[in-house]
Amino acid sequence: MDRFPGFACDDGVFGLARQHCRGFAGVIRPGANTPSLNLWHGGGAVALSAASRERTVIVTGAHRHGAALSTARQVADGTEAPATLTLADGGRGGAFVVHDALSGALVLGRDRAGIMPLYLSVRADRIAFATELGALAALQQGDTELDADVLAMYLDHGFSAGCRTPLAGVRRVAPGEIIHIDKRLQLTRQPAATLSPTTRFDGSFADAAAQFGPLFDAAVAAHRDPDQPCSLLLSGGLDSALICTSLTRTARAPVHTYAVAYDFTQKREELADARRIATLCGTTHTELRLSQNALWRHLPWTVWRTDELMDDHAALATSLAARQLPSDTAVFTGEGADDVFAGDGQYRRHAMQRWFAGLLTPRSGGWHTRGLLDRRQRQRLFGAALRAADRARRDDLNGAWASASCRASWLQRAQASELESIFPNTLALKVGRSFDGAAHSVHMPFLDPRVVRFGLALDDRLKVRARTGKVFLREWACARLPRDHVFKRKRGFFMPVSQLLQGERLDRLEPVLCASTFVAQWLNPAGVADLFSAHRATGNHAKTLWRLLQAAIWFSLFVVSPGACPTPSEDPLDWIL
């Protein structure tokens, strides 16, 4: 990590924080005339200054590359406003900080799609900000408390929605939001730039298809240098296959595709489907097979690298696979299509299911009502503080639903709520954190603003038909891909958690987890022991145990021992304190 020239820095304050900071971190305090600013940036960020050094810009994510970097230079020179950095194409965005030396003001912001995160902590004596939660946890110097409501939601749903984080007093900067901090440390929040369409498309499929083809190819082309090699994670599904067809149409340099599977199971394996698409498109294709031991030992690194308290099983395999990709390549993924074009199963609920789910879960609109734990399980597993927070655990989800336009259809509200409140904290985070090295740039073309607005504007009949989602995208894709591939059943990326939590690993995990600080402070140790017994008897609780395992490691890294950093291959039990 580099201390940026011209700024003071207290090594005692930042000594631990810089272990976590791959982007940038800063603390601003009141001063006699101007605020005192400590500012750092790591290898995942680029720092730029005007010739006069009156303005400094630090950017992360794909803002470090190509046209987005040119925009950042214009902001540093003063020829563009900082707000333009939120408008970078949604599939290649980042976070940024702009410091004006003359006024002493700071501007913080994040791209509209929320590809890269940014966090803020406001206290009486200082304002701290960072691209990693771990940096802020370290800056709090042992004064770290958890938000029980957010923790309860994570244990039930595997993520937290909205702007609250597991660290009390630390909030996320919303996607597209800009925060101005003046020399008196007064904050002004500029509302987030929205990706919602201004009009609705009510034409025919043929009309929509005629518009989408050129639009999609232009969006993909805008994300790459045709002379630079690029890599694509080819899952064997529809979304990455469509990106593959578009990339190979315009590329002059090789397109490298990668498919991921395991060497210990072939359950739900999609290597053959990925191989078929790679052959069809003429890519240089590589198959990666991951072992049980490598996955198990990579878990502490993945939890640390992900930074957020988030349970996406595919994050572990994605992180491990990322280490085998060339470091100087642009990485493309198909994330976002399921929400932009309504492919996920939650969008296919019929009206009676939504009504009944909304009746059981008031204020939810029947959206995201299924958690991992039922009420009885939560009461048995949760400690006193989490039981008290149980009723409020859905407040952020319900707030996201309430903030969506009531004039939109149920499906449109669900898509908007997902893209604004959940996707940036889950799938975008999984991919962005896995490939946020100094040389990688991550591209998600389905989150390009042009594609997002097109997809959200489509009429519901072009999105969901009976139990089939992504209707428009599937029909349109038939012109580029074999029809049987386009309409094969959606399976999603499989992560064999149950096979990682069995035998000797399960036996070793139980006493360590039950005796952990996390369980002692937040859970009922007897309930955790019962969960292990039930899993041995039925084999049905691997997902719950995996979520608790990740939470215990995260708690150790970010609360018990902030600033600690695991290596990419370590025994997870060594990181449960």
Looking at per-residue pLDDT, the higher value among 125 and 293 belongs to 293
- Indicate if the pLDDT at residue 1 is higher than 60: no
The stretch 426-443 carries a mean pLDDT of 74
pLDDT in tens, 226-271: 777 889 999 889 999 999 999 998 777 889 999 999 998 888 788 9
- Indicate if the pLDDT at residue 90 is higher than 70: no
- Indicate if the pLDDT at residue 89 is higher than 60: no
Burial label, 529 (beta-carbon count in 10 A; 0-12, 13-18, 19+): middle
In one letter, which amino acid is 26?
A: G
Please state, as a whole number, how many other Cβ atoms lie within 10 Å of the Cβ of residue 30: 14
Q: What is the pLDDT of residue 4?
A: 40
> What gap in Å lies between CA 278 and CA 285, rounded to an integer?
6
The stretch 501-513 carries a mean pLDDT of 96
Q: What is the pLDDT of residue 479?
A: 95
Q: What is the pLDDT of residue 11?
A: 47
> What gap in Å lies between CA 384 and CA 376, rounded to an integer?
14
The residues facing 230 across adjacent strands are 255, 330
Looking at per-residue pLDDT, the higher value among 491 and 345 belongs to 345
Q: Of the ranges 7-21, 213-227, 462-476, 541-555, which one carries the lowest mean pLDDT score? A: 7-21
- Indicate if the pLDDT at residue 290 is higher than 90: yes
Residue with tokens 């009420």: 375
The stretch 44-56 carries a mean pLDDT of 83
- Indicate if the pLDDT at residue 33 is higher than 90: no
- Indicate if the pLDDT at residue 101 is higher than 90: no
- Indicate if the pLDDT at residue 543 is higher than 90: yes
Q: Which domains does the chain have, with CATH numbers?
A: 2-190 (3.60.20.10), 205-343+415-486 (3.40.50.620), 346-377+391-411 (no CATH), 497-575 (no CATH)
- What's the mean pLDDT when you consider all of the chain? 87
Its pTM stands at 0.93
Please state, as a whole number, how many other Cβ atoms lie within 10 Å of the Cβ of residue 191: 9
- Collapsing DSSP to helix, strand or coil, 540 comes out as coil
Q: What is the pLDDT of residue 521?
A: 97
> What gap in Å lies between CA 240 and CA 242, rounded to an integer?
5
Q: Taking a C-beta distance cutoff of 8 angstroms, is the pair 432, 322 a contact?
A: no
